[in-house]
Structure 1
């Protein structure tokens, strides 16, 4: 999408959630239904965009790049403020159980599709302060180790059996979720342990990013309980679980069935664009900082979101990312559609060899 303001949709979504809370429970339920039913249909109708071309990327000037980065920063701030407000709001507002549940779902989906996605953009930047901000955002959904595992684990091992975030062909979302959540946690701990060992430092150190940020997360939860009460802590816990499931569902869709060729020496072929599913549907990409352009992201992980390119000759989602996420929750439908797409891509790739 060529228009910068389109990427501010996350900011306006936060305002809509606040408005829905004060408008009353039926509005919260309606927003949940819109998220799961209307958004996939809308992104399919709105269609795709191949922008930007290499020529457009070359023309990007410093002021415009600064505005793209500002949007990411403002979206990160909106997530922090939204979580803080939500925790306070449920502590001073009496809600029916179904209103609380609908609000928790909305907060969790915002955390997964906006909060974590914003953290994902920041963790791939070279500046230390942006990486620290990504840890903070992930702590707000009780998943701080993702910044370690994703950059140093997933990007190295993607499309191999060693990667817990790569779904295997025939694996349901419900089998994938526990495997990737547990596997990602173990991998992050191992990666930090190895990093510190190279410096002659043991794992139980304040220089262990996983220990530091998980300690922060647990301290935050304790503070929420003491200062705001059990309802706020329950909201924090539920929205965290939903955000984590949303994130890992994205991982499930974007790497389903992808396999890198193994060389005679046991190593794997270099990561290429064809080792991830690609989507250039406009609506999902402006919501999630072009996360659908996953092929280019894995090919060159340091490319910022506004420079991610479309590839025609890689596996393409038949629908937008929102639609694929919804489809993934229905395994028979998912396998019927995606195994067919996977077969078509594999036959095409074999013919080109």
Structure 2
């Protein structure tokens, strides 16, 4: 086991799988010589060569379209969209082409590709570098969508995603890339209740897609969340002294309904938390599923805690984020309901 940041774990996963399988190709804007804007691909071009890790023009539709063609003909491209906010020009390729190849060809072709994207805020990047668009991908049949919260999961799930026979949207919370921004904002110190590094096994291993993890066992209320908000939820439960069971979904599609339902039936209460805006966020899907499957076990309405329904605010991003105080208040109100 080695202590790694999330960036180091991503880089290690790519190196491991590129060494293991020469069909794996990495490309995107600035991922080659420069090593990526967040340095997730640093050193890969030098080790594996310019044919397997290379830079592209600023053309997201072209990047994704090229990867789809490669995947259909037997390669396993793992591409990077520099920020999740930049994927919109490629959304046609993702939703109309990559997601449908298996169905359109009656299984004659598959699309084994991964689209990596840094997601969420926390770097003062403004409204075009800080969005959380995961719900858009979960609405598209044929895509798998994952969003890990720690270095161990990010390495194992990235390897599993690259080896998956279908297209996987791999979202990486950039607030977790290197850990807390100490001194930048007092809210961050309250948000982060852990070390920026995590123990990661050396070499090859996988974490299965579609399986949630229980990060904290509890009896009074279930918190369903993912990515950065896992750490916010842990902080909120600790600060409020609430016996909360915190479920890290890790994989949004496929979704681990078995773990979710077992927890909600045990606690009888549920709070859903995510950084994305509230309306039509993935939390709405979770609330609907719980309402249907766990209705007779619920002691209170399912509550959602999310970003505000406003364009992403640059200067006020730390007030936009659902922090431990806002989530903690929701936990207390749910217990009192």
What is the TM-score of this pair, normalised by structure 1? Answer: 0.28
What is the TM-score of this pair, normalised by structure 2? Answer: 0.29
Using CA pairs below 8 Å that are at least 6 residues apart, which structure has the higher relative contact order? 1
Greater share of strand: 2
Greater share of helix: 1
